[in-house]
Chains A and B, each alone.
Chain A
Amino acid sequence: MNYRMIGRINALILLIEGFFMIPALIFSLVDRDFAVTKGFLITMGAIVVFAGILLLLSRKAKRGFYAREGLVCVGIGWILISLFGSCPYWISGQIPNFANALFESVSGLTTTGASIVPAVENLARAINYWRCFTHWLGGMGVLVFLLAVAPIGEQSEGFTMHLLRAESPGPSVGKLVPRMRRTAAILYIIYILLTLLDFLFLVCGEMPAFDALCTSFATAGTGGFGIKNDSIAGYSPYIQNVCTVFMLLFGVNFSCYYLILLRQVKNVLKDEEFRLYWGVVIASTALITFNLFRAATYTTFGETLRHSAFQVSSIITTTGFATTNFDLWPTFSKAILLFLMTIGACAGSTGGGFKFARVLLIFKALGRNIRQLLHPNSVKVIHVNGRQVDEKTISNTNAFLVAYVVILISSFLLLCIDHISVLTGFTAVLACLNNVGPGLDAVGPACNYAGLSIFSKIVLIIDMLAGRLEIFPILILFSRRTWKKY
Chain B
Amino acid sequence: MKILIAGGGKLGETLARQLSLEKHEITLVDTDSAILELCVNRFDVMAVQGNCAAMEVLQEAGVKSANLLIAVTGSDEANLLCCTTAHWMNPDLHTIARIRNPEYNEQAYLMKDAFAISMTVNPDQQAATEIERLLKYPGFLKRDTFAKGRMEIVELRLDAGSKLCNVPLNNLNSIIKCKVLVCTVLRDGNAITPTGHFVLQEGDRLFVTAPTDTLSVLLKNLGAITHRVSRVMIVGGGKIGYYLADALQKSHVDVQLIERNEEKCEALANLLPDINVIHGDASEQALLESEGLHSSSALVALTGLDELNMVIALYGKRANVPQVITKVSRIEDTSVIDNLSLGSVINPGNLCCNTIVRYVRAMQNQVGAAITVHSIADGKAEASEFLIDETMPHCGEPLKSLKLRENVLIVGINRGNHTEIPNGDSVFYAGDSVIVVSDGKNVIGHFSDIFA
To the question of whether A and B form a pair in one complex, the answer is yes
Q: Residues of A at under 8 Å CB distance from B?
A: 66-67, 153-155, 157-162, 174-175, 177-180, 182, 387, 390
CB-CB < 8 A to B2: which residues of A? 178
Tell me the chain B residues, 1-60 only, with Cβ under 8 Å from chain A: 2, 17, 20-21, 23, 25-27, 33, 40-47, 49
Q: Does the CB pair A180–B44 fall under 8 Å?
A: yes
Q: Does the CB pair A153–B44 fall under 8 Å?
A: yes
Cα–Cα, bound, A180→B47 (Å): 12
Q: Residues of B at under 8 Å CB distance from A?
A: 2, 17, 20-21, 23, 25-27, 33, 40-47, 49
Q: Does the CB pair A178–B41 fall under 8 Å?
A: no
Q: Does the CB pair B44–A162 fall under 8 Å?
A: no
Given contacts A67-B41, A178-B46, whether A154 and B23 have CB atoms under 8 Å apart is yes
Q: Does the CB pair B33–A390 fall under 8 Å?
A: yes
Q: Does the CB pair B23–A178 fall under 8 Å?
A: no
Q: Does the CB pair A162–B45 fall under 8 Å?
A: no
Q: Does the CB pair B46–A177 fall under 8 Å?
A: yes
CB-CB < 8 A to A160: which residues of B? 44
CB-CB < 8 A to B40: which residues of A? 158, 161, 175
Q: Does the CB pair B42–A178 fall under 8 Å?
A: no
13 contacts between A and B (CB under 8 A): A155-B21, A157-B17, A157-B43, A158-B41, A160-B44, A174-B46, A175-B46, A177-B25, A178-B2, A178-B26, A178-B27, A179-B23, A179-B25
- Name which residue of chain B comes closest to A158, CB basis: B44
Known: A157-B43, A157-B44, A387-B49. 10 other contacts (CB 8 A): A66-B41, A153-B44, A154-B23, A154-B44, A159-B42, A161-B41, A162-B41, A174-B47, A178-B26, A179-B23
CB-CB < 8 A to A67: which residues of B? 41
CB-CB < 8 A to A179: which residues of B? 23, 25, 44
Cα–Cα, bound, A155→B45 (Å): 13
Contact with B43, one of A155, A158, A162, A177 (Cβ below 8 angstroms)? A158
User: Chain B interface secondary structure, helix, strand, loop or mixed?
Assistant: mixed
CB-CB < 8 A to B46: which residues of A? 174-175, 177-178
Cα–Cα, bound, A66→B25 (Å): 22
Q: Does the CB pair A157–B25 fall under 8 Å?
A: no
Cα–Cα, bound, A100→B23 (Å): 46
CB-CB < 8 A to A158: which residues of B? 20, 40-45
Cα–Cα, bound, A159→B49 (Å): 20
Give min CB distance, B242 to chain A, whole Å. Answer: 36
Cα–Cα, bound, A141→B270 (Å): 65
User: Chain A interface secondary structure, helix, strand, loop or mixed?
Assistant: loop
Give min CB distance, A455 to chain B, whole Å. Answer: 39
CB-CB < 8 A to A154: which residues of B? 23, 44
Give min CB distance, B423 to chain A, whole Å. Answer: 34
- Name which residue of chain A comes closest to B45, CB basis: A178
CB-CB < 8 A to A177: which residues of B? 25, 46
CB-CB < 8 A to B47: which residues of A? 174
Cα–Cα, bound, A155→B2 (Å): 18
CB-CB < 8 A to A66: which residues of B? 41
Give min CB distance, A375 to chain B, whole Å. Answer: 26
Q: Which of A158, A175, A177, A390 has most chain B Cβ within 10 Å?
A: A158
Cα–Cα, bound, A66→B37 (Å): 13
CB-CB < 8 A to A174: which residues of B? 46-47
Give min CB distance, A230 to chain B, whole Å. Answer: 46
Q: Does the CB pair B44–A178 fall under 8 Å?
A: yes
Give min CB distance, B450 to chain A, whole Å. Answer: 19
Give min CB distance, B45 to chain A, whole Å. Answer: 5
Q: Which of B40, B42, B43, B44 has most chain A Cβ within 10 Å?
A: B44
Give min CB distance, B43 to chain A, whole Å. Answer: 4
Cα–Cα, bound, A66→B41 (Å): 8
Give min CB distance, B94 to chain A, whole Å. Answer: 17
CB-CB < 8 A to B17: which residues of A? 157
CB-CB < 8 A to B44: which residues of A? 153-154, 157-158, 160-161, 178-180
CB-CB < 8 A to A390: which residues of B? 33
Q: Which of B17, B23, B27, B45 has most chain A Cβ within 10 Å?
A: B45
Closest 10 pairs between A and B when the two form their complex, measured CB to CB: A158-B44, A178-B25, A178-B46, A158-B43, A175-B46, A178-B26, A180-B44, A390-B33, A157-B42, A161-B41
- Name which residue of chain A comes closest to B28, CB basis: A178
Cα–Cα, bound, A159→B2 (Å): 21
Cα–Cα, bound, A161→B43 (Å): 8
Q: Which of B17, B27, B41, B43 has most chain A Cβ within 10 Å?
A: B41
Give min CB distance, A49 to chain B, whole Å. Answer: 32
Cα–Cα, bound, A174→B60 (Å): 14
Q: Which of A154, A161, A390 has most chain B Cβ within 10 Å?
A: A161
Cα–Cα, bound, A179→B23 (Å): 8
Give min CB distance, A317 to chain B, whole Å. Answer: 28
CB-CB < 8 A to A387: which residues of B? 49
- Name which residue of chain A comes closest to B56, CB basis: A386
CB-CB < 8 A to B25: which residues of A? 177-179, 182
Cα–Cα, bound, A66→B38 (Å): 11
Give min CB distance, A107 to chain B, whole Å. Answer: 33
Cα–Cα, bound, A159→B41 (Å): 6
CB-CB < 8 A to A162: which residues of B? 41
Cα–Cα, bound, A1→B326 (Å): 36
Cα–Cα, bound, A67→B40 (Å): 12
Give min CB distance, B258 to chain A, whole Å. Answer: 39
- Name which residue of chain A comes closest to B21, CB basis: A155
- Name which residue of chain B comes closest to A176, CB basis: B46
Cα–Cα, bound, A229→B47 (Å): 48
Cα–Cα, bound, A180→B49 (Å): 19
Give min CB distance, B229 to chain A, whole Å. Answer: 41
Cα–Cα, bound, A481→B347 (Å): 38
- Name which residue of chain B comes closest to A267, CB basis: B60
- Name which residue of chain B comes closest to A181, CB basis: B44
CB-CB < 8 A to B43: which residues of A? 157-158
Cα–Cα, bound, A26→B85 (Å): 58
Cα–Cα, bound, A179→B21 (Å): 11
Give min CB distance, B106 to chain A, whole Å. Answer: 35
CB-CB < 8 A to A153: which residues of B? 44
Give min CB distance, B57 to chain A, whole Å. Answer: 11
Give min CB distance, B293 to chain A, whole Å. Answer: 42
Cα–Cα, bound, A343→B419 (Å): 72
Cα–Cα, bound, A179→B1 (Å): 11
Give min CB distance, A77 to chain B, whole Å. Answer: 19
Cα–Cα, bound, A157→B33 (Å): 20
CB-CB < 8 A to B49: which residues of A? 387
Cα–Cα, bound, A310→B42 (Å): 44
Give min CB distance, A115 to chain B, whole Å. Answer: 39
- Name which residue of chain B comes closest to A165, CB basis: B41
CB-CB < 8 A to B26: which residues of A? 178
CB-CB < 8 A to B42: which residues of A? 157-159
CB-CB < 8 A to B21: which residues of A? 155
- Name which residue of chain A comes closest to B46, CB basis: A178
Q: Which of A66, A153, A178, A182 has most chain B Cβ within 10 Å?
A: A178
CB-CB < 8 A to A182: which residues of B? 25
Cα–Cα, bound, A177→B45 (Å): 8
Cα–Cα, bound, A86→B296 (Å): 77
Cα–Cα, bound, A177→B17 (Å): 16
CB-CB < 8 A to B45: which residues of A? 158, 178
Cα–Cα, bound, A155→B21 (Å): 6
CB-CB < 8 A to A178: which residues of B? 2, 20, 25-27, 44-46
CB-CB < 8 A to A180: which residues of B? 44
- Name which residue of chain A comes closest to B23, CB basis: A154
CB-CB < 8 A to B33: which residues of A? 390
Cα–Cα, bound, A180→B45 (Å): 8
Give min CB distance, B128 to chain A, whole Å. Answer: 32
Give min CB distance, A138 to chain B, whole Å. Answer: 25
Cα–Cα, bound, A390→B31 (Å): 12
- Name which residue of chain B comes closest to A390, CB basis: B33
Cα–Cα, bound, A161→B49 (Å): 17
- Name which residue of chain A comes closest to B61, CB basis: A178
Give min CB distance, B68 to chain A, whole Å. Answer: 13
Cα–Cα, bound, A153→B40 (Å): 13
Cα–Cα, bound, A162→B42 (Å): 9
Cα–Cα, bound, A160→B41 (Å): 8
